[in-house]
Amino acid sequence: MYITRLTTENFRNLSDTELLPCQGVNVIYGGNAQGKTNLLEALWLFTGGHSFRGSKDGELPRLMETGEGNSPRASLSLEFYSEGRMQAASLHIENGRRSSVINGVKKKTGSALVGKVRGVIFSPEHLLLVKEGPSRRRNFIDGALCQLKPGYAGLLSVFQRALLQRNALLKDLVRFPELADTLDVWDARFAKLGGEVTAERWAYVQRLSPKLAEIYSGISKGREELEVFYAPSVKMEGDITRQQAEQALLTELSRTRRADIRAGFTTAGPHRDDLEVRLNGVSARSFGSQGQQRSAVLALKLAEAEALSQLTGETPVVLLDDVMSELDGSRQDYLLNHLHGRQVFITCCSPETVSLMETGRRFRVEGGCVETEEV
């Protein structure tokens, strides 16, 4: 899929704007706080997700000139090619709520657009995928699976509810030991749901791994090797199936029951799993440089886009925010000139970086105004 037109009205600091991107690489450049990231945020909202910056919907309309708060509404519209035809969508943000229209059909929520516009986003916060603990990496896998398989979001929600309920029971056992008889029932439910989550995550990482290695080799010009491995907190060997994961979880829950009761929470399961990211055979978190860590996260996001394309038949739009800092010239060249077969939007500050583009379209942003320039 690709986007042909974006318009914004009363959105963030942007002047009412029309963006006409090309089907290849589109670079959006300018100084800090001029509105570059706001354009990517506007595009991302059409995936049906929340702002990747963590902003609430009520914070998206442009600030009033008086500074007394946000004006009550903003509107965005998008024209794009997907599913073999041109389509149109719009988003309306009013009183802190989003509604949408897709091909003339009104929807009550912005999330109704999920699956219509597919995208993958990289922002500086995603560097924490490598730098911080396992929860970031679990969220990366879960977020990708939710785009690939709408039913996975429901499975994950039910699993998380089962985890909360088991933890609540563990806390209550201190005061009400007679409830111990019900723990077997909750263990069975937790293991069944956890086995499904574990198997889905493992299968996704297996699909991601070869493409990730290929992309990172391109970014590093073959000088470095990147690998990822799904690392369950409960020991499992070989290909992880739902049945194997369920049985392993049941066994582990039985083994750690006393420890769980003492702790008041579940000490093992999918909520403790991790994604190991290894650079040249060692931990990218512990031994990777800033540029290598940034390259690793970029490769993860681009591999996510490739997996989404393979499984859905639609190539997602790639949004890369503030991606160029800490990358050397060869890595910048890869992003600007070698991401073929997909539409890419890149923000950066340096005009020197923009000059490395060989083809594509570039947009200069200053004070919320967007100006198209020829490459």
User: In terms of CATH, what superfamily is 130-285?
Assistant: RecF/RecN/SMC, N-terminal domain (1.20.1050.90)
- CATH superfamily, domain 2-118+315-373, is P-loop containing nucleotide triphosphate hydrolases (3.40.50.300)
Query: pLDDT at position 55, please?
Result: 87
Question: What are the structure tokens assigned to 335, written together?
Answer: 């992003």
pLDDT at 64: 59
pLDDT of amino acid 126 = 86
Alpha carbons 369 and 375: distance in angstroms, whole number: 19
The full DSSP string for 110-126 is GGGGTTTS-EEEE-GGG
For the chain, the domains span: 2-118+315-373, 130-285
Query: Cα–Cα distance between 292 and 26 in angstroms, integer?
Result: 24
pLDDT of amino acid 66: 45
- Please give the chain's pLDDT, 375 residues, in tens: 999 999 999 999 999 999 999 999 999 999 999 999 999 999 999 998 888 888 888 889 987 554 555 557 899 999 999 999 999 999 999 988 899 999 999 998 988 888 888 899 988 888 889 998 999 999 999 988 987 887 898 999 999 999 999 999 999 988 888 888 899 999 999 999 999 999 999 999 999 999 999 999 999 999 999 999 999 999 998 899 999 999 999 999 999 999 999 999 999 999 999 999 999 999 999 999 988 999 999 999 999 999 888 888 889 999 999 888 878 888 898 989 988 889 999 999 888 888 888 899 999 999 999 999 876
DSSP symbol at 61: B
DSSP-derived secondary structure letter, 34: S
As a whole number of angstroms, the distance between CA 86 and CA 102 comes to: 12
Show the tokens assigned to 162. Answer: 């089962």
Sheet of 17-19, strands arranged across: 17-19, 2-9, 73-82, 85-94, 97-102, 105-107
